């Protein structure tokens, strides 16, 4: 069981827009080991990103943008570095970051985190004491981090409310890939990326 070193408190600034304004698959890989930060009035939650998935535009049959722009997916066509939050299965939210240039659809789904700080609050919100179950899935982490509709379109480069920061001490890890989880189409693309051996990855 691989465990990344605990970067309990990151004081790193938010990743800049040019980080997101690149090819989606590359951004998906490079987000591994980075820190998702959610700040409230008197609390800060942090988790190390350990699993991501890349989604393209009209050429990707698994993407929400496969059939062109709609009301739901409009953030995927907007400027890079903004949060695309969507509601699914009648009860769950999923968090993506918009990637690539303005006008071209692309996003990376954040699928799992390794909790780093604010764990007590995550336990309370998730209703479990098991750290392994706090953020090991796309809808689990949005619940733990209180990411809902009102953060759809949120700019992740401002450092307010929700952002992603560099990890000062990510340690060494190996990136593994597989086809994306929960999609019927586009399974030929190995666009799911995760830290090999990390116990917070959602599925083996």
The residues of the shown chain that bind DNA, judged by CB under 7 A, are: 53, 55, 62-65, 67, 70-73, 76, 84, 86-92, 94, 96, 107, 109, 126, 128, 133, 137-140, 180-184, 202
Kindly tell me which of 33 and 137 has the beta carbon lying closer to DNA.
137
Alpha carbon distance 102, 80 (integer Å):
6
Kindly tell me which of 10 and 122 has the beta carbon lying closer to DNA.
122
Minimum distance, C-beta of residue 111 to DNA, in the bound complex (Å): 7
Minimum distance, C-beta of residue 118 to DNA, in the bound complex (Å): 18
Minimum distance, C-beta of residue 11 to DNA, in the bound complex (Å): 29
Kindly tell me which of 10 and 194 has the beta carbon lying closer to DNA.
194
Minimum distance, C-beta of residue 31 to DNA, in the bound complex (Å): 13
Kindly tell me which of 10 and 86 has the beta carbon lying closer to DNA.
86
Minimum distance, C-beta of residue 109 to DNA, in the bound complex (Å): 3
C-alpha closest to that of 82 among 145, 156, 20, 19: 156
Kindly tell me which of 71 and 129 has the beta carbon lying closer to DNA.
71
């Amino acid at each position: 069981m691989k465990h990344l070193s605990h970067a309990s408190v990151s004081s790193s600034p938010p990743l800049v827009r040019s980080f997101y304004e690149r090819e989606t698959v590359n951004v998906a890989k490079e987000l591994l080991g980075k820190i998702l930060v959610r700040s409230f009035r008197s609390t800060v939650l942090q988790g190390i990103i350990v699993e991501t998935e890349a989604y393209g535009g009209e050429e990707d049959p698994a993407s929400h943008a496969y059939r062109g722009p709609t009301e739901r997916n409009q953030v995927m066509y907007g400027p890079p570095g903004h949060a695309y939050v969507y509601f699914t299965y009648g009860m769950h939210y999923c968090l993506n970051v918009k990637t690539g240039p303005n006008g071209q659809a692309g996003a990376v789904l954040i699928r799992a985190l390794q909790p780093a700080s604010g764990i007590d609050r995550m336990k309370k919100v998730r209703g479990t004491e098991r750290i392994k179950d706090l953020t090991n899935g796309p809808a689990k982490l949005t619940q733990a981090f209180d990411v809902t509709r009102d953060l759809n379109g949120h700019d992740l480069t401002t450092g307010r409310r929700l952002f992603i920061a560099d990890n000062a001490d990510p340690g060494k890890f190996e990136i593994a890939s597989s086809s994306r989880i929960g999609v019927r189409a586009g399974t030929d693309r190995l666009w799911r990326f995760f830290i090999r051996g990390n116990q917070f990855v959602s599925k083996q």
